[in-house]
Every structure is written in structure tokens, then in C-alpha cells.
Amino acid sequence: MNWIFTDRGTALADMTIEQCKIIELPKISDPRGNLTFIEGIRNVPFAIKRTYWIYDVPGGEVRGGHSYKTLHELIIAVSGSFDVVVDDGSNKKVFSLNRSYYGLYVPSMIWRGLENFSTNSLCLILASDVYSEADYIRNYGEFLSGKEKA
Ligand code: TYD
């Protein structure tokens, strides 16, 4: 697979939903229980600088609703299921995640929403950088303006 590497500070406004990809993670099947692991750079196209997770999502709630200027993420349904709607300003695509050994890679400058969380679902997110509110675009109009400049 050809990864797209970007440095921090490089806003790739021309990213499209075609760059959002399901990544199959290593799975060590074992009668004692299966094991999956992730190594930054090797299994995901970035060095992992932060991990966070979303849980206890009440039925019908939606998370996300923003894009990042430079951040890349891998989104995994470690438990349960949910949908990730990705949007590049021109096209949208829905990825339904329901396996703990699949991750959805979402690059910067892609608007995303997470919805349809099943009861007790656990959404694990690996991020290419530490938290920075300055890297968020939370206004959809502003996101579209950024895309037009590409
Ligand atoms: P946000 O990224 O908007 O959540 P969502 O998963 O729905 O996109 O983050 C919600 C709040 O949590 C916001 O106030 C920022 C804070 N937050 C941190 O402090 N650190 C983090 O690593 C993340 C992801 C969020």
C-alpha cells in the first residue's frame, strides 16, 4: 500500500474521500482468544502520538462533526459497531465499522461524523498528533472554503 505521509503543519486541502481507507490490522487467532496489535508507521501511515476513546454513547447521539487541518486518524470499533460518515466537500461515504481488527484511516481535511453507535460500543482512535483545538475546523462553511482553496 502506498501511504501518504505528511508533516505537521501541512494542510492537505485536496484530500478526498478516496484517501479514506479500511486498514486490516494483524490478527493472531488463538483458541484462547484473539489478539490484534497496531504499530505506528508499520500498520498505520503515521507515528501515533495520541490515543483516545469514545464510549457510553447514548442511543441516537452523534460524535465528530468537524475536520482537522493537519491531523490524521485511525478509527476502530474495538467493541460493538458504529458508522463513520466521511465528506470531502464534494462527496460523502459511509463506513460501517464492526470488527476490532479493521481500522478506518481518515486523513486531514476530511469532515467526519460518527453515528449509529450500538449499545456498549467502544470507539478507539489513534491520532498523529497531540490534542490541539487550533487544528480543528468545526464550521462546515469554513471547511468548504478551505477545500475551495485547494
Ligand atoms: P471532540 O474532538 O470535539 O469530540 P468528538 O469525538 O465528538 O469529535 O472533543 C470533545 C471535547 O473533548 C472537546 O472539548 C475537546 C476535548 N478533547 C481533549 O481535551 N483531548 C482530546 O484528545 C480530544 C479528542 C478531545
What pLDDT does residue 148 have? 80
56 burial type by CB count under 10 A (0-12 exposed, 13-18 middle, 19+ buried) = exposed
Q: Which contiguous run of DSSP H or E holds residue 22?
A: strand 21-24
- Higher per-residue confidence, 4 vs 87: 87
Q: If you measure from the C-alpha of residue 54 to the centroid of ligand 1, how many angstroms do you get, rounded to a whole number? A: 9
Mean pLDDT within 80-107:
98
Per-residue pLDDT band at 58 (split at 50, 70, 90): very high
Q: Which of 63, 67, 108, 143 to mutate to test the pocket of ligand 1 (most atoms within 8 A of CB)?
A: 63
> Above 60 in pLDDT, residue 45?
yes
- Give the number of the atom of ligand 1 that is nearest the alpha carbon of residue 62: 7
Contact indicator for 72, 127 with CB cutoff of 8 Å: yes
Confidence tier at 20 by pLDDT (50, 70, 90)? very high
Give mean pLDDT, residues 115-143: 97
Q: What atom in ligand 1 is closest to the CA of residue 63?
A: 7
Percent of the chain beyond pLDDT 70? 91
* Residue whose CA is at the smallest distance from ligand 1 atom 1: 64
Mean pLDDT, residues 140-146: 95
- Region 4-28: mean pLDDT is 79
Rounded to the nearest whole angstrom, what is the distance from the C-alpha of residue 30 to the centroid of ligand 1? 35
Q: Which residues contact 82 (CB under 8 A, 6 or more apart)?
A: 57, 96, 97, 114, 115, 116, 117, 118, 121, 123
Identify the pLDDT of residue 11: 55
CA of 116 to the centre of ligand 1 (A): 19
